[in-house]
Amino acid sequence: MTPARIVVVGTGYVGLTTGACLASLGHSVTCVDVDRAKVSRLSAGRVDILEPGLADLVARGISTGRLQFVVGARDAVRDAEAVFLCVPTPMGAGGSADLRAVEAVAAEIGDVLPAGCALVTKSTVPVGTSKRIEEMLGRADVPVVSNPEFLREGTAVADFLGPDRIVVGSDDRAAAQWVGDLYAELDAPLVVADAASAELVKYAANCYLALKLSYVNSIAELCERLGADINLVTEGMGHDRRIGRTFLKPGPGWGGSCLPKDTSALVKVAESVNYDFKMLTSAIDENIAQRDRIVAKIAGAVGGTLAGARIGVLGLAFKAGTNDLRDSPALAVASVLGALGAELTAYDPAIDGGIDGMTVVDDAYQVAKDADVVVVLTEWAEFKHLDWAAMAQLMDGIDVVDTRNLLDPRVIVDAGLSWQGVGRPRAAARIKVS
């Protein structure tokens, strides 16, 4: 395919990754943002987002001249062949997706889009958004195409350049196919659909993953009550090709920038057509219950009363490899602990500080000092390699609550500490190192 002139509106995780990756495929890409300071930093190759490979890809795009950053969408789109909307669609009032940013951009650029330019929604939007945008534009010569993203934070570049599938949808099939052809260099199945089906794919996929995570957390709770080991249970499940191994790890609950808002949004979409999506609402309820169970587990480790308990927290980001705190289950658990009177000292390799209700330090060993219990809330690999004997000497208590089942219980016990994970048998301390 001949390289296309593409404008990407928004330079968050999705927008910046989309722009940099499309430029790497040979297209001429202009990324637009309203934040002048951010545009200036990006133009100099400074990327604030912690995402493996993204900074290098941005630098390469700038050096080749295929990637640029500007302020103001109206001028940028005047000669575009495709405009990708990559703006936030956060959870709005009542749980529905907030489409104000999408609508604001469409209203801003609608009258200056060139005839034939594809307006592509990359942001996660509810079913019916393409038709809504078409009505706003009032232009039969500008096709609206849904092209949902399936990027995971921490692996966004790899996910874009090595996708499981590419989904495009429009009631103008030729326009959908043309947008799909922008990815021609990638070796991935192309699903060309109508607009409604393409819009639903993203919600259906994300909500299924949420269901799977809530299910495995429920099974982990059963393991604790029945004396089974969740690691062995999920290993046995994962060999079944119908189930697979992914999203079978229990933890403090699911979160991040996508699953919470997407599950709530799909529930609202279902309500709009008089469907009671009980399975999904149960998964959401189970997610809240899982965080409560984690808090109870930590409370049990300090004798049942959190008020005044000194808790060392390892990890705050919603997942390892990112600096994203949006709907972080780690932060949610920590916030509840703080609200119940616990004194929190936290460390995360990607978080500098500035979090209310806790002291954020720059050394993992500082969280152990005088701690009654140390809690692992994010699965950073470096926590496995801490000197746990040294951690034990710094602690007042002997309990380690590992909500990610990250650590080797034998290492913790050999250090003179007790270990308890999620859905696994406890490992009791032999002797406290003094």
CB count in 10 Å sphere of residue 302:
21
Q: Model's pTM, two decimal places? A: 0.92
Of 246, 258, 177, 179, give the one whose Cα is nearest residue 215. 246
How do residues 71-95 score in pLDDT, each as one tens digit?
Answer: 999 999 999 999 999 999 998 888 8
| Residue 8 banded pLDDT, cuts 50, 70, 90 | very high
Q: Is 25 annotated as a binding residue?
A: no
Cα–Cα distance between 358 and 371 in angstroms, integer? Answer: 13
Q: Report the mean per-residue pLDDT for the chain.
A: 96
| pLDDT for 196 | 96
| 180, pLDDT greater than 60 | yes
How many Å from the N-terminal Cα to the C-terminal Cα in the chain? 68
Q: Is 319 annotated as a binding residue?
A: yes
Q: What is residue 1's three-state secondary structure?
A: coil
Ramachandran angles phi, psi of 406, nearest 5°: -85, -40
CATH of 5-191, one of 3.40.50.300, 2.170.140.10, 3.40.50.720, 3.40.50.970: 3.40.50.720
| 219, pLDDT greater than 60 | yes
State mean pLDDT over 140-167: 96
320, two tokens: 């390892």
Q: What is residue 310's three-state secondary structure?
A: strand
Q: Is 212 annotated as a binding residue?
A: no
Q: Is CATH 3.40.50.720 what the domain over 194-433 is classified as, yes or no?
A: yes
* β partners of residue 311: 344, 373
Cα–Cα distance between 380 and 374 in angstroms, integer? Answer: 15
* β partners of residue 166: 190
Q: Is 151 annotated as a binding residue?
A: yes
Nearest 10 degrees: Cα torsion 211, 217, 221, 222: 50
Q: Is 293 annotated as a binding residue?
A: no
| Residue 244 banded pLDDT, cuts 50, 70, 90 | very high
Nearest 10 degrees: Cα torsion 350, 354, 357, 362: 50
Q: Is 255 annotated as a binding residue?
A: yes
| pLDDT for 431 | 56
Q: Is 251 annotated as a binding residue?
A: yes
| Residue 432 banded pLDDT, cuts 50, 70, 90 | low
| pLDDT for 428 | 87
Domain ranges across the chain: 5-191, 194-433
| pLDDT for 260 | 95
State mean pLDDT over 293-303: 97
Q: Is 211 annotated as a binding residue?
A: no
Q: What are the CA-CA distances from residue 330 to residues 92, 129, 335, 395 (Å)?
A: 23, 33, 9, 21
CB count in 10 Å sphere of residue 245:
13
Cα–Cα distance between 399 and 413 in angstroms, integer? Answer: 10
b/e burial code for range 41-65 (CB count within 10 A of at least 16 → b): ebeebebebbbebbbebbbebbeee
**332 residue type, one letter:** A
Contact 405, 389 (CB under 8 A): no
Q: Is 248 annotated as a binding residue?
A: yes
Contact 316, 351 (CB under 8 A): yes
How do residues 31-71 score in pLDDT, each as one tens digit?
Answer: 999 999 999 999 999 999 989 999 999 999 999 999 999 99
Q: Is 261 annotated as a binding residue?
A: yes
**320 residue type, one letter:** A
Cα–Cα distance between 142 and 80 in angstroms, integer? Answer: 12
Contact 146, 170 (CB under 8 A): yes
Percent of the chain residues topping a pLDDT of 90: 95
Contacts of 239 (CB under 8 A, 6+ apart): none
Q: What is residue 262's three-state secondary structure?
A: helix
Domains 5-191 and 194-433 share a fold: yes
Cα–Cα distance between 96 and 202 in angstroms, integer? Answer: 15
Q: Is 249 annotated as a binding residue?
A: yes
Is 258 in the active site? yes
162, two tokens: 């090595």
| Residue 311 banded pLDDT, cuts 50, 70, 90 | very high
Which of the residues 31, 86, 117, 258 is marked catalytic? 258
| 430, pLDDT greater than 90 | no
| 247, pLDDT greater than 80 | yes
Q: Is 124 annotated as a binding residue?
A: yes
Q: Does 354 or 28 have the greater pLDDT score?
A: 28
Cα–Cα distance between 175 and 168 in angstroms, integer? Answer: 9
State mean pLDDT over 207-233: 98
Cα–Cα distance between 428 and 432 in angstroms, integer? Answer: 11
| 434, pLDDT greater than 60 | no
Cα 16 from chain centroid (whole Å): 15
How do residues 268-277 score in pLDDT, each as one tens digit?
Answer: 999 999 999 9
96, two tokens: 């529905």
